[in-house]
């Protein structure tokens, strides 16, 4: 039984397997409001698991297991927040990489952006360490030592990966249906070897933040995440947070790693991506629904974010030919 099987059993009301194709198992994660996210899992080696996460906005309480393992999370798009059993909150923003171990006990998982897309690599410090030793004999990786270095004194470190590591992380999404398990296994081994060979990461100043310190920012954030058809301004968001415009802008960027209006633009485009995947609305209508009166400007902004035009993005996610990131109906 894999760690994910145990998680599914412990969280049976929220997490369940819905399909398997030999290389992977697809799980549905049901959020508190009934919305369903998708997690595609791959058992790469004994004790080494990879997950592709595509989770819409929502929150889920969580009953975690506590295996001795190194967990690596990378956020491709959106945002992930984790409230731990000791009352701390971990926030992972777009492009950020998190390393944590069994000291981080999950209590509530939140996905504040319209869509979170990311990957998780879990390496058991017993079976996984032995598998890595067999697969990478020339590296002689001390997984316990690597875990201590990557997770720090508090059990969690969040950093921005360097260009080489970022390119490698992004390349996980380039794997199609041709021998996916073998190719993903090679990428995961390369990621571990690269992390082991990187002597100094650049951790964010705070991996943990007290929730009460950012409640005012979250009021402004909720406004930025809503009313996409309306002209919500920076001043509107600052007023909702009961802060001056300059203080709100500075504190928001420091807490979440992105300027407030850039965050609003990101939310608008991620909502548009959801509509392209899940509805038959025309592109011009979708553009209007996320605040773009000019379809050409919408298409240019969308392509700059997703590297595909809206029509190409829709065709790709409707084809269902990719190994991960496919669109399923909620069940």
pLDDT tens readout for residues 31-77: 888 888 999 999 999 999 999 999 988 898 887 666 789 999 999 98
Q: Residue 135: is its pLDDT beyond 80?
A: yes
Q: DSSP string covering 7-38, please? A: HHHHTTTTEEEEEE-SS-EEEEEE-TTS-EEE
Q: Residue 243: is its pLDDT beyond 80?
A: yes
Nearest to 125 by CA among 62, 46, 39: 46
Q: Which residues, 6 or more positions from 3, have their beta carbon under 8 angstroms from its beta carbon?
A: 49, 65, 67, 69, 122, 124
pLDDT in the model for residue 329: 37
Q: Which residues, 6 or more positions from 35, have their beta carbon under 8 angstroms from its beta carbon?
A: 56, 57, 58, 330
pLDDT in the model for residue 323: 39
160 with 217: CB under 8 angstroms? Answer: no
pLDDT averaged over the chain?
A: 86
pTM tops 0.75: no
**Location of structure tokens 């553009």:** 287
Q: Give me the mean pLDDT over the 278-299 stretch.
A: 92
Phi/psi for 27 (5° steps) reads -115, 150
Band of pLDDT at residue 328, cut at 50, 70 and 90? very low
pLDDT in the model for residue 125: 93
Tokens of 28: 């549905």
Element (H, E) at 89: strand 89-92
Nearest to 57 by CA among 116, 13, 106: 116
Band of pLDDT at residue 320, cut at 50, 70 and 90? very low
Element (H, E) at 218: helix 215-224
Q: For the segment 149-198, what is each residue's pLDDT rounded down to a tens digit?
A: 999 988 999 998 999 999 999 999 999 888 999 999 999 999 999 999 99
Q: Residue 327: is its pLDDT beyond 60?
A: no
pLDDT in the model for residue 310: 93
Which one is predicted more confidently, 95 or 87? Answer: 95
Sign of CA dihedral 223, 225, 231, 235: positive
Q: How far apart are CA 208 and CA 89, in angstroms?
A: 6
pLDDT in the model for residue 114: 72
pLDDT in the model for residue 331: 37
Per-residue burial over 257-277, b = 16 or more CB atoms within 10 Å of its CB, e = otherwise: bbebeebbbbbbbbbbbbbbb
Write the CA distances from 64 to 11, 106, 208, 297, integer angstroms. 8, 6, 19, 44
Instruction: Pick the most confident of 129-133, 153-157, 217-221.
Output: 129-133
């Amino acid at each position: 039984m894999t760690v994910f099987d145990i998680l599914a059993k412990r969280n049976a009301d929220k997490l369940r397997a819905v399909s398997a194709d030999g290389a992977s198992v697809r799980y549905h994660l049901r959020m508190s409001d009934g919305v369903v996210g998708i997690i595609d899992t791959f058992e790469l080696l004994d004790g080494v698991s990879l997950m592709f996460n595509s989770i819409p906005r929502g929150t889920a309480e969580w009953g975690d297991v506590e295996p001795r393992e190194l967990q690596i999370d990378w956020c491709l798009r959106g945002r992930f927040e984790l409230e731990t059993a000791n009352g701390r909150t971990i926030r992972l923003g777009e492009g950020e990489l998190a390393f944590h171990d069994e000291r981080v006990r999950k209590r509530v998982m939140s996905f504040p952006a319209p869509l979170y897309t990311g990957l998780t690599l879990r390496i058991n410090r017993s079976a996984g360490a032995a598998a890595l030793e067999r697969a990478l004999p020339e590296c002689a990786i001390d997984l316990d030592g690597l875990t201590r270095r990557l997770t720090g004194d508090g059990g969690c470190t969040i950093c921005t990966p360097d260009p080489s590591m970022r390119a490698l992380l992004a390349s996980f999404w380039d794997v199609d249906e041709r021998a996916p398990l073998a190719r993903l296994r090679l990428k995961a081994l390369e990621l571990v070897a690269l992390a082991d060979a990187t002597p100094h990461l650049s951790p964010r100043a705070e991996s943990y933040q007290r929730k009460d310190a950012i409640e005012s920012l979250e009021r402004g954030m909720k406004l930025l995440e809503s009313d996409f058809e309306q002209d919500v301004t920076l001043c509107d968001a600052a007023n909702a947070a009961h802060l001056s415009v300059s203080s709100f802008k500075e504190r928001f960027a420091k807490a979440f790693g992105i300027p407030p209006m850039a965050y609003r633009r990101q939310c608008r485009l991620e909502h548009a991506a959801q509509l392209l995947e899940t509805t038959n609305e025309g592109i011009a209508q979708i553009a209007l629904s996320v605040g773009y009166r000019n379809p050409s400007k919408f298409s240019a902004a969308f392509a700059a974010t997703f590297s595909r035009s809206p029509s190409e993005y829709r065709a790709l996610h409707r084809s269902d030919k990719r190994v991960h990131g496919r669109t399923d109906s909620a069940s």
